[in-house]
Amino acid sequence: MQKDINFILSKDYDQREFIRELQDQYLIQEEKTYSECYVYYDTFDWRLYNKSLILCSTAQTLLLQSLDTHTVLERATITAPPVFLSDIPSGSLQEKVAPIIAMRALLTLFAMDTQCTPIRILNNDAKTVVRLLCETGTMAEAPDAQPFPTILWLKPVRGYAKEARRLSKWLTNKGLLLSHDHLYVQGLAAVEKHPGAYSSKIRLQLQPTLRADEATKVILRSLFHVIKCNEEGIKNDIDTEFLHDFRVAIRRTRSALGQIKGVFPADVTARFQKDFAYLGSMTNRVRDLDVYLLHKECYTALLPAPVRPDIAPLFVHLQRERTKALRTLVRRLRSKTYADILRRWEAFLTQPPVEDASAANASRPIIAVARKRIRRRCRSVVQLGTDLLAETDSQRLHTLRIACKKLRYVLEFFASLFPGKKTALLVEHLRTLQDNLGRWHDLVVQQEDLRHFAATFSGPDQKAHNTLQAIDSLISILEEEKQTVGQALPAIFAAFTAQAAHHRVV
């Protein structure tokens, strides 16, 4: 028994009273009580919590803990609260959280003051056989609030498992309940934060017999929630993922309106398609610049070492452009036009079903509509891809990429209606195909943009000349990658079509 066990001391069971009773039963050594303040962090979309991890700081130490076992996994010394991954010192802690938090900002969830009293359980030889820690927490923002119930941490000592089991049994007989909640969980409840309350992913359980118009509104309401959740993060420029999630929710909304056909009146669908096309377009400039700035280190590393400093002026220019573009976007998010679009949309989503001749699929079961749309979209991808491999050109690659995106969204909308390994494998192969086509498209766009940016640095001075040469080098390197990506397409497409045939959707 090496794993820590924690019990909870009920509010009507005084800690001093408990220690006296413990002293009557065991030889103990109570150590000096100490205080600590813990500040807890996670990303907006709960990336650490979803991996059963806790990130907190106390004094100048950053701790990564397991939510399941309550053990400290890694620690690092910090001089300021971390916000981005770059604020966490290089080392094992940063390495563990890097693939999890990526470019997301760490938000401060709450601060908690704790009072900790260590107790050593001794044997007749005065050797420590079990360690106990009595820990009580109070929210730092509300020091006058009632403290949380005391948690007793039973920490076995190697070689004395028997004694730890005996103490655990005694605590259980005293009526103490095993607790799996860390003080962190109690703190979250106190500040009314609900882990997992936000996710950009579509997580719905649609009933197959639900009317298609009502089921579509269920999908659209979940996407509307994502749009609303990300507004403030964009305005406050917390991190780039707020805008990314906002844009994806808008694209999915447009796709649902366009792909789940005949469920709403035609004029209503057309009006909202126009509205959401506008919402998507107003975010394009900032997102394009975000992509370049997020890949700054990657782009720089692609260049030969002597040339790398010459590309720096490009990113200074892009950062200035982003600052201006963000101001424009925030102004539009605060505009009456934006408010009116969302008000009309929310009102529509709460309306009861309306019978309309142009909404022929409205009352059909959603399962029937879903099957038809998935089959058609999948056949479209297969046909476009087959034609493309016979005669490759940029426009057809772009068309295939868009067709894949539409199929992907439809599969996401209706995932709960088609559970099983076959569907999961189809989505996996589609994702691989999308990644390939998406990377190819990104490289084309990046090359075009770099040529456009090059015009900014025209001039007789040597610095501008060096920057132009660095940009030209980067364009050439991206061209080599584009050729590699294109060469991989036939095999990736063949794997997708094989899976589609196995799925019997083509």
pLDDT (tens digit per residue) in 293-339 = 999 999 999 999 999 999 999 999 999 999 999 999 999 999 999 99
Which residue is listed with tokens 């426009």? Answer: 395
- Residue for token digits 């599969």? 411
Asked if residue 356 is part of any domain, the answer here is: no
180/218 same-domain check? no
Question: For the segment 205-235, what is each residue's pLDDT rounded down to a tens digit?
Answer: 999 999 999 999 999 999 999 999 999 999 9
Indicate whether 177 and 226 sit together in one domain: no
CB atoms within 10 A of CB 181: 16
- 423 and 486 in a single domain? The answer is yes
What is the tens place of the pLDDT at every residue in 110-145? Answer: 999 999 999 999 998 899 999 999 888 888 887 677
Q: Structural domain tally of the chain? A: 2
Query: By the 8 A CB rule, do 279 and 450 touch?
Result: no
pTM, 2 dp: 0.89
Same domain? 136 vs 278:
no
What CATH number is attached to the domain comprising 216?
1.40.20.10
Amino acid at 25: Q
* Mean pLDDT of all residues in 240-268: 96
Residues sharing a CB contact under 8 Å with residue 301, sequence separation 6 or more, in sequence order: 308
Q: Which of 3-12, 32-41, 460-469 has the lowest mean pLDDT?
A: 3-12
Domain-terminating residue out of 190, 224, 239: 190
What would the DSSP string read from start to end of 270-318?
HHHHHHHHHHHHTTHHHHHHHHHHHTHHHHHHHS-GGGGGGGHHHHHHH
Task: Tell me: do 130 and 264 sit in the same domain.
Answer: no
Query: Same domain, yes or no, for 185 and 242?
Result: no
Chain mean pLDDT for the chain: 91
199, part of any domain: no
Average of pLDDT values for 14-18? Answer: 84
Q: How far is residue 58's CA from residue 209's CA, in Å, rounded to a whole number?
A: 53
Please check whether residue 141 lies inside any domain of the structure.
yes
Cα distances (Å, whole numbers) of residue 250 to 230, 253, 330: 11, 5, 16
Same domain, 222 and 153: no
In a domain, 201, yes or no: no
Mean pLDDT of 189-198: 90
Residue 205 lies in a domain: no
Domain-terminating residue out of 135, 159, 190:
190
203-206 contacts at long range (C-beta below 8 A, 24 or more positions apart):
204/413, 204/415, 204/416, 205/416, 206/366, 206/414, 206/416, 206/417
Check residue 294 and give left, alpha or beta (phi > 0: left; psi -120 to 50: alpha): alpha
Q: Which amino acid is at 301?
A: A
Q: Please give the pLDDT value at position 506.
A: 42
Rounded distance, CA 447 to CA 292, Å? 11
Q: What percent of the chain shows pLDDT beyond 70? A: 97
Q: How confident is the model at residue 505 (pLDDT cuts 50, 70, 90)?
A: low
When pLDDT is cut at 50, 70 and 90, the band that residue 1 belongs to is: very low
Within this chain, do residues 165 and 229 fall inside the same structural domain, yes or no?
no
Which residue segment(s) compose the domain that 153 sits in? 5-190
Strand pairing category for 27-30 and 107-122: antiparallel
